[in-house]
Amino acid sequence: MRVQWCWRCKAEVPMLDENEFASVAELHREAIRGAKEFRQRFGAPLEQASFDEHFRPVRLRYEQLTGMKDCHQNAIMHHRISMYGRPCESCGKPLRTPSAKLCGACMHPVQSIDNEQKSREPHP
Ligand SMILES: [Zn+2]
Ligand SMILES: [Zn+2]
């Protein structure tokens, strides 16, 4: 777990590493399965409240891992460190994607660590 800036929540939130995320994702899959079964059995979509109730184990697991209470399950599913890039050299916020070329916060260009860009950049 690592606290870092979330672009969607616009806040610093606890993000999960791959092991932590795997255990949360498993519970999330079960919750979706449970919600689907409910819908098939009763032939009607769940009310929002009972829909959310299915996802309670997801929120509890996230709370166990991070100490953050009642984070919405949809938010939890994007609190995964590997979905974002490394921290911007200028402002420290994580890049929006691992392959971003610019920081989404301060527009600082990302210094490429691989050779992919070098050939295209003019050098005086
Ligand atoms: Zn978020
Ligand atoms: Zn930046």
Q: Are residues 78 and 89 in the same domain?
A: no
Q: What is the pLDDT of residues 39-64, one digit of tens each?
A: 899 887 778 888 899 999 999 999 99
Domain count of the fold of the chain? 2
55 φ/ψ angles, rounded to the nearest 5 degrees: -95, 5
Q: Are residues 75 and 46 in the same domain?
A: yes
CA distance 109 to 89: 9
Q: Are residues 46 and 10 in the same domain?
A: yes
**Cβ partners under 8 Å of residue 10, min gap 6:** none
Q: From the CA of 2, how far away is ligand 1's center (Å)? A: 13
Q: From the CA of 112, how far away is ligand 1's center (Å)? A: 26
Q: Are residues 70 and 104 in the same domain?
A: no
Please say if the pLDDT value at position 12 is more than 70. yes
- Residue recorded with tokens 């795997």: 22
CA distance 100 to 94: 10
Q: Flag the least confident range among 22-26, 60-64, 111-115.
A: 111-115
Rg (CA), the chain: 19
Q: Are residues 34 and 68 in the same domain?
A: yes
Residue range of the domain that includes 121? 85-124
Q: Are residues 14 and 75 in the same domain?
A: yes
